[in-house]
Amino acid sequence: MIERYTLPEMGRVWSDQHKYELWASVETLVLEAHAAAGRVPAEVVEPVRNAPPPTPERVAEIEETTQHDVIAFLTAWADNTTPRSAAAYVHHGMTSSDLLDTALAVQLTEATDILLAKADRLVAVLRDHALAHRDTIKVGRTHGVHAEPDVWGHRVADLAFAMARSRDRLRAARSRVGVVAISGAVGTYSLIDPSVEVAVASALGLRPADASTQVVIRDSISEWVAALAVIATVCEAIALEVRHGQRTEVRELSEAFGSGQKGSSAMPHKKNPIRSERIAGLARVVRAAVVPVMEGIPLWHERDISHSSTERVFLPDASITADYLLHLTTGLVADLVVDTARMRANLESTGGLVYTSSVLLELVEGGLSREDAYALVQSAAMETWNAGTPFRETLRKRAAEAGVELDEARLDEICRPERYVADLGPLFDRVAALT
């Protein structure tokens, strides 16, 4: 991922230098397990443990010749080992995937922990924003058209729960990608004892793979990437709400606009939802990782490396981008400007059409058939749409024409927006308990 969208902590997880540090750590743990079992000389452990990991530049230089990154790493690391002869026992009984998949599991869990911390923060910000606006009356929209009265906190609560569920999916995926596989060339432990795998997994705080055939099958990694894609898409759902709310014709929501910020190179009046649009664009990047990574599940027999090049691109990019999206979305919600007066004005802008559902039921309960009540209310509503006459006036007119008596005091009661949201208390109790 380009530097523009890479935050330092996540960027380090996927850096070449950190990767080689992890490779050195895994190889050292394997060597220690061999030495403890008496399979290799105990005196080689300390020199290997003390050898600094090679630099990415040195590994790349050797790889120009070897065309094999693990061999290049092992050669470069051996050059850093004193005495160099101790390095002969490094990678003992292992194959490349033992090292690669185990170190990748550590990277995936490290990346996940960073993401989970940010997801926790976003859930908390959404929760607090929803509670702060539990009484902020607005119009609910279906198909983009005014429907019935709602409160802004209700809409945000839905997004808060969605993010909490998405975070929990990622937490579950973490346990499945955190696996160690050190089982040899085709996964049969022919040259390495299964106890080594157990010892390394314990040292890393991970678990041994249920099975490996040199590589760990990629279903769990696919699940992990899919969890990131859902998180990114929930971030986009939040951003889309802001993008709609910031339209001039709506003007209920807006992103924070800092001193000195510019909205357009040509039009000085512009205040554009650039953060929300960036979120929408980058969510596509994360979703784009799902299919390529999933296609790494079917490999030829015990192993091929068609998954390798894909994962070198998409696993870092997906997690770096999801990390940035969580950061960006948290700031968007925390600093969101809510125009409560404009929300109320928009609610009232259709002259009372948002109350037709309650009026319909009132007429049915007063004795009209549903068909007759619907026809009466719809005819009044269409006149309001076309002429702009307030709905109560057109309703009176149509009711008089149909010989239907209206209870004006009752209509006053049911045509209050607060009546529509009176039963949302338990929902907000659940929101308050969200962690």
Structure tokens at 298: 């079917």
What Å distances lie between residue 6 and 14, 247, 286, 392, 428, CA to CA?
Answer: 10, 29, 14, 56, 35
Rounded distance, CA 58 to CA 428, Å?
A: 57
Strands 253-254 and 179-180: unpaired
Please say if 143 is a catalytic residue: yes
DSSP code of residue 350: T
DSSP code of residue 145: E
* Catalytic entry in 175, 195, 264, 349: 264
Rounded distance, CA 163 to CA 175, Å?
A: 19
| 320 closest CA partner among 281, 282, 276, 277 | 282
Structure tokens at 335: 């600093």
Residue pair 48/80 in contact by the 8 Å Cβ criterion: no
51 Cβ partners below 8 Å, 6+ apart? 24, 77, 80, 81, 82, 87
328 Cβ partners below 8 Å, 6+ apart? 235, 275, 278, 279, 282
What Å distances lie between residue 106 and 130, 176, 180, 374, 383, CA to CA?
Answer: 36, 12, 9, 62, 65
Strands 179-180 and 145-151: unpaired
Residue pair 33/200 in contact by the 8 Å Cβ criterion: yes
Residue 251: left (phi > 0), alpha (psi -120 to 50), or beta? Answer: left
| Strand, coil or helix: 13 | helix
Active site residues: 143, 264
